[in-house]
């Protein structure tokens, strides 16, 4: 475990955490972040119009997302103005495109094998009213020295979603093991956004009590050559589904449901968003984010 033994060290630790959390909150409250999502629309072969986005949207037999824009409607993607019929092609699983529509953007994405659009409007009341997320006071005790245990071969791992009926598949390259009060715990780790980085999804004994019931996420830097890696639970964060029913977050694998209380990181939001979610035509719904 990483230790901080002086008041000066603790003050620096607290200051660094506060700076990190402030940056995280800025991203969360971005004008086009997930708090700005006004609808979750599941596409099928029938061109369909929605009140919060221009155009009629559908998915082709080849799996491409298509929009048909009426006269006077347009989108802008990577500086290109789109008018009439536009084929976005096949969107990769957990991928997203963000064409702009005035001051809004229309997220075009694939989640759990389903094509979706999620319009994001900066003036959406949950974003405008967002006042921050409570968190435990940062404590060096919750920086745990861990061991990265790579699998011989990465394991495709299926997890549930915040919405019943959808599943996500992540590649797990290994586990991280850490000790707490004399007991060793292991967490399945997934690949992070940068080469070598990892992240874990987990619940613990605080889930549904002081922290969000479904999941929390913890980003991890790439392990050292000796497999050493630090788990700073002070930086455990909520996923979008803690704030809006228009997200499709993954749930932790069974092994990552810790029986101990991790009294660190973000707590349950004080004012979660409640919005009616649409479902895809086959009844399945669910997230990667």
Q: Which pTM value belongs to this model? A: 0.87
Whether the per-residue pLDDT at 85 is higher than 50: the answer is yes
Domain ranges across the chain: 34-129, 134-256
pLDDT for 112 beyond 70: yes
What per-residue confidence (pLDDT) applies to 133? 97
Residue 270, pLDDT score = 86
Q: Report residue 133 as tokens.
A: 């997320």
Both structure tokens of 276: 């009616």
Query: Which two tokens mark 246?
Result: 């228009």
pLDDT tens per residue, range 43-81: 999 999 999 999 999 999 999 999 999 999 999 999 999
* pLDDT (mean) for 22-40: 96
Structure tokens at 150: 């790579």
Name which of 64, 65, 63 is nearest 55 in CA terms.
65
Distance CA 193, CA 197 (A): 7
Cβ density class 7-25: b for 16+ within 10 Å, e for less: eeeeeebbeebeeebeebb
Residues 134-156 have a mean pLDDT of 97
Confidence grade of residue 166 (pLDDT, cut at 50, 70, 90):
confident
Rounded-to-integer distance, Cα 269 and Cα 211, Å: 8
Q: What percent of the chain has pLDDT over 90?
A: 84
Residue 252 DSSP symbol: P
Contact call for residues 208 and 120 (beta carbons, < 8 A): no
């Amino acid at each position: 475990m990483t230790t901080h033994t002086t008041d000066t060290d603790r003050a620096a630790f607290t200051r660094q955490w506060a700076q990190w959390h402030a940056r995280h909150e800025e991203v969360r409250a971005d004008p086009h972040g997930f708090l700005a999502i006004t609808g979750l629309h599941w596409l099928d072969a029938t061109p369909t119009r929605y009140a919060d986005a221009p155009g009629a949207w559908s998915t082709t037999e080849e799996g491409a997302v298509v929009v048909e824009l009426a006269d006077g409607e347009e989108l802008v993607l990577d500086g290109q103005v789109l008018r009439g019929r536009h084929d976005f092609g096949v969107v990769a699983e957990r991928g997203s495109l963000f064409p702009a529509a005035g001051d809004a953007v229309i997220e075009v994405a694939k989640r759990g094998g389903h094509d979706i659009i999620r319009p994001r409007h900066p003036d959406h009341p949950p974003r405008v009213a967002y006042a921050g997320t409570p968190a435990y006071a940062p404590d060096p005790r919750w920086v745990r020295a861990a061991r990265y245990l790579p699998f011989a071969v990465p394991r495709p791992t299926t997890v549930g979603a915040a919405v019943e009926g959808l599943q996500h598949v992540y590649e797990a390259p290994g586990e991280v093991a850490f000790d707490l009060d004399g007991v060793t715990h292991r967490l399945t780790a997934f690949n992070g956004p940068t080469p070598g980085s990892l992240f874990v999804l987990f619940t613990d004994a605080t889930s549904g009590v002081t922290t969000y019931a479904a999941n929390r996420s913890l980003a991890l830097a790439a392990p050292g050559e000796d497999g050493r890696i630090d788990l700073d639970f002070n930086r455990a964060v909520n996923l979008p589904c803690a704030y809006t029913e228009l997200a499709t977050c993954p749930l932790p694998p069974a092994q990552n449901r810790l029986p101990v209380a991790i009294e660190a990181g973000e707590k349950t939001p004080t004012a979660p968003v409640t919005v009616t979610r649409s479902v895809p035509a086959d009844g399945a719904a669910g997230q990667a984010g």
